Structure 1
Amino acid sequence: MTPPKHIWSGGWEAESEAEARRRAEAEAERQAHAAEQPEAPTTTGPTIAPGSPADPYAPERGRAGTTSRGRVAALMAVTILVIGGAAFAAGLLLDDNGDGKNGTTPVAALPSVGSKPIKPARGQTRAGTIYTQASPAVVSIRTSTGTGTGFLIDKSGTLVTNDHVVETAKTVQVKFGTDGRTIQGDVKGVDPSSDLAVVHIDPGTIPGGTTPLEFADSRGVSVGDVAIAIGNPFGLDRTVTEGIVSSLGRTLKAPNGFQIDDVIQTDAAINPGNSGGPLLDDGGKVIGVNSQIATNGVSAGNVGIGFAVPSNTVRQVVPGLKEGKTVSHAWLGVQIDTSGATNPNATSGAVIGSVETGGPAESAGLQAGDVVKRIDGQAVQDPTELSTIINSKAPGNKIKLTVERNGQSQEVDVTLQNRPQQVPSQTQTP
C-alpha cells in the first residue's frame, strides 16, 4: 500500500513538489549566506503525498534529492510533526492585514446543523434521494492543469474545494452539471495546511433551484456511519458512490508538507477528479471534503481507502478564506524521530529528532533526543498526541513542555510561532 495521494485529475503533484524544492533551495542558500558558510548543504523540499509510480495522473518525478551519507535512513524515519491541520476550535487566527491591534483576529466558524437520516420515498434508495437533493450544488472545477470538484455552501456564490485543486490559479472554470455552462470563478483564498480553498462565483450564475449544502458537526460522526461521495472522477460528471465511515482520527500530509489531523477515512469509492467534493452523511449534510486516497502501487484508482478533511476544519477555515485572509496555525518547530535512532531508550512520549533553526523550540532550548512527556500537564503518549495538542493552540500561545533529557525530567517554556508556508528545509542531522 503506497502513501495517500491527492485525487486531483491533473499534474498537481510534480508541480507542487517542484515549487517546494525551489523554495527549499532558496531558503538553504539564504541561511548559508547568513552564516557565511562556504557551501550550503544540499536539501530537498517536502514530499507531498506520493502516488503510485504507475499513476498517469501523477507524472513521474525525480528522486527526493540527496543527503549526506548516514542521514538518508534517519531522515526517512523522521516524521514532520507539530504541523497541523486546524483542529476544530483550535484557536486559529486570521491575518487581518494590519487592521487589528495584534495583526491577527479570531476565526468565527461557520455554523453546523443537525442531521437526521433521510427517509427515501417508496421505490427510491437513500443514496438516490440524497443525490437528487445534493448534486445540483456540486460543481466541476477546471484549471490549466486538470479538473476537480467543488460545492456551493451559500447563495452568495461561495464554493469550497481543495487547495491542491486550485494551486496557484487566480481564476478557475466552474460548471454546474444541471446546465453545463462555463462560469468564471475567482479564487478568494487558499490554506495549504488544511488543503482547503474558497472560490467565488457571481450569484446570478447559480442555476435556479440549487440549494447550497450545509455542514454537520464532524464530532458527531462515528465509525460505521453512512458516507456518500459526489464528485467528478475521471471527468465523469457528478458521480455518486456510497460506503461507510471506515475510521476516524487519521492524519494526512497537506500540500505544504504539514499535517492534517482528525481526517475521516471512508470506503466510498473516490478517484482522481473527486478532489474537493463533499462527503455526506445519511442526512445529506457535509461531514468532509474528499482529498486523498491510498493506492496499492499498481492501480491509480480506488481501493476502498479514501480520506476527507473533516467538516469542522472546513467550518473553521472557510470564513477567513472567503474574505481573502490568511489562516495562521501554531508551530513548535521540531521534527519527530520515529526510528528510535535519536533516543533508543524512549518507550513513550514524542522523541525530538531535530529542532528547526530559528523556530520556537530552538529559542526555548529544546534539543534533539529530548522526549516530550507533557504539554501544560496533558500527557503526550505518542507523536500524534503532540501534534494534536499543538494544533489546538494559536500562534503566540505560551506552553510548558515537560521533557525527559538524559534520564532527567525538566520543564521548558515555549512561545509558539506562526507556521511557515512550507515545512522548513531540514539542514541539520537529527
Structure 2
Amino acid sequence: MSADEDRVLLVIGSGLRYYREYLIESAARRAVELGLKPVLVNNLHPTWQTPYFDEITVVNVFDHEQLKAAAREIAARRTVAGIVCYDEPLVMPTAELAAEFGLPGLGLAGVVGCRDKHTTRRLLTAAGLPQPGFELVDTPEAARAAARAIGYPVVVKPRALGASMGVVLAEDEGQLDAAYLVASNAGLVGDEPYRGGAMVEGFAGGPEISVDGVVQRGEYRAVHVARKQTGMHPYFEETGHVVDADDPLLHDQVLLDVLAKTHQVLGVEDGMTHAELKLTPYGPVVIEVNGRLGGDLIPYLGRLATGIDPGEVLVETALGLRSELTPRHRGVAGIRFGYPAEDCTVGEVRLPAGLPGLVAAEPMVSPGTELRLPPGGYLARHSFVVCTGDSREQCAERLDAALAAVELTGEPLARKEIDAVLEMPAGLLDTDVAEART
C-alpha cells in the first residue's frame, strides 16, 4: 500500500461514550468519505470505540510525552493528513503535534490563549475588549487584596479547568477565604503548569451563553448559540442548555464582532472552539474560550436544532476544508441534567419515556456510584434528558417535565470538608476494561 493510499485522521482521546460517541460516529464517517482512515490514540482499552477506527493505540495520554511518542510512531508508518481533539486536557499536546506535523490546528499561541484563563484575560484586556477586573493570586491574603481592589462580588476560579469546576462566587470578604480554598484545591487536578493558586475576577452580571464556532485561517464563524442554565449558588454548576437554530444572537453583529476579535487576539488559527460569554448591560463579555467543541452534548443539540453536524465540521477543519454552515433545518433542542438533592451513593435511576418532545433520557452512572455536590465534587449528574420544541419556551417546559419524571434512589453520604482536595468527578471518568477485569 502506498503512502497516498494510507492517509489517516488522527484522533486524540475518545472521551466518554454518552458525551462523545455521536461526534466520533459522524467524524469517522466523514473521514472515510474523504478517503481517510480514522486512527485513535486513547488511554483506555477499546470497547465501544472499536467499530469507528482502523487502528487504536492505548497509552497514558495524560503523560504528554507518551502521547506524543505514540502519535509520532503512527506518523512514521502512515500518512497523517489531519489531527483532531475535543478533550480539554489534551488540546495542548494536540496543538503541539499539529505544529510538528505541519497540519492545521489551533496554533501554539491559540491553545495557550484558550487554555490559560490568566492569559485569556490579559490579552483581551490589552486589546480593549470588555473584561472584568482580574488578578492571578497564590495565597488567601493576595486573594483578599485582589478582591478589595476589584470590588465585590468576585468570582474565584482555577486557572485552567473546565466544566465550571472549582468556580465560586464570593459576595463579600467573609466568603472570600473559603472561595479561594475551593478554587485553589480544585486547580490541583489540572495540567501541571497551571496548578495552585486561583484567579480572582469581577463578577459579570447577565444571562450566560456559549457559542460553538469554527476558525479557518483566522476567520471566525459561529455555528450555534446555547442558552445556559446554572445552579447551586454560590457555585456555577451547569445544569442545562437550549439551542435555537433561529436564535437572534446568531445575527447580533456586536456579539459576532466580539467573538471574531477575541479569536484573533488569542491567536487561534484553525479549529473549533467553545466560547462562554455573559450578556451584560454594557455588552457581551467573554468569560472564557475553550480550544475544543462544547461539552454537555451541546454540539448534539446543535445538530438536532440545525442539521449542521459538528463531527463533520471538525474533520473538514482539520483538513483545511471550508465547511458549509447553513442550517439544513430549523428547530429548538435542549438538555437538562439530573442531580441528587444531597451527596449520595446511587441506588437506581428510573427514566421517563413517551413524553412530548422527549428525544433521549439516559442514566449517567451505575448503582454504587458516589455523587458529590459542590464543593466536595462537581458534575454529580445521575441522568440527562433531551427534548425538542417549537420554541425555546416550549422546549424548556418539556425539559422541566421530563426531568421531574426522573426518579433516583440512593443512600446519603457524609459531606466532605471544604478543604478536601478535589477528586475528579465520576461524570468525567471512565473505567479501563482491562483494569476492571483484575
TM range (shorter): under 0.3
More helix by share: 2
- Structure 1-normalised TM-score? 0.26
Bigger relative CO (Cα 8 Å, ≥ 6 apart): 1
- Structure 2-normalised TM-score? 0.26
